[in-house]
Amino acid sequence: MPVTWTNSQDQVDWLELESLYRLAPLGNKSAEHLRTVFTNSRFKFFAYENGKLVAAGRALSDGADCSYICDVAVMPSHQGSGVGREMVSRLVEASRGHKKIILYSVPGKEGFYRKLGFMRLLTAMAIFENQAAAIERGHLGEA
């Protein structure tokens, strides 16, 4: 069955998206949290197969200088099928015209994004709500 794409969140089942995040795995984010972050994102895409959500992604954008792609979640059954590549391609295309497109990767997935043209930021830094957990997961290291 073909995958269908939409950029509308009108029909999103937020509990289904919560489950996708857990399975992808992108962590435990509540349905309400996801509704907030997707609603506040300039660009977003959802992929469905047989009416079931199989991928989602979003980008925050200021409309000219910077677009930040985040939360690219793909159902494990669809990882390696091209759905993730298509999601990132759609978000990059939506972000065209910005001076920079930034992406934050789950540790271990950097190679996937490198193949899509992303390069390592040498000066990126962050403050996390839970610094210790971010260090443990491999998101943060010494500056």
pLDDT, one tens digit per residue, over 6-16 is 999 999 999 99
Residue whose tokens read 């959500």: 53
Its pTM stands at 0.92
Confidence check: pLDDT of 18 > 70: yes
Would 143 be classed as within a structural domain?
no
- pLDDT the model gives residue 105: 86
Cβ atoms within 10 A of the Cβ of 138, count? 10
Mapping DSSP to helix (H, G, I), strand (E, B) and coil, where does residue 62 land? coil
Mean pLDDT of 98-119: 93
Q: What are phi and psi of 63, to 5 degrees?
A: 90, -5
Question: Higher confidence at residue 51 or residue 142?
Answer: 51
Number of domains in the chain: 1
Would 142 be classed as within a structural domain?
no
pLDDT tens for each residue of 34-63: 999 999 999 999 999 999 999 999 999 999
* Type of residue at 38: F
**Owning domain of residue 58:** 4-137
Cβ-in-10-Å burial (0-12, 13-18, 19+) of 47 comes to buried
Cβ atoms within 10 A of the Cβ of 103, count? 20
* CATH number, residue 69: 3.40.630.30
Cβ atoms within 10 A of the Cβ of 118, count? 17
Question: Higher confidence at residue 136 or residue 87?
Answer: 87
Name residues whose C-beta falls within 8 Å of residue 51's C-beta, 6 or more positions apart in sequence: none
How far, in Å, CA of 127 to CA of 88, rounded? 25
Confidence check: pLDDT of 142 > 80: no
Confidence check: pLDDT of 143 > 70: no
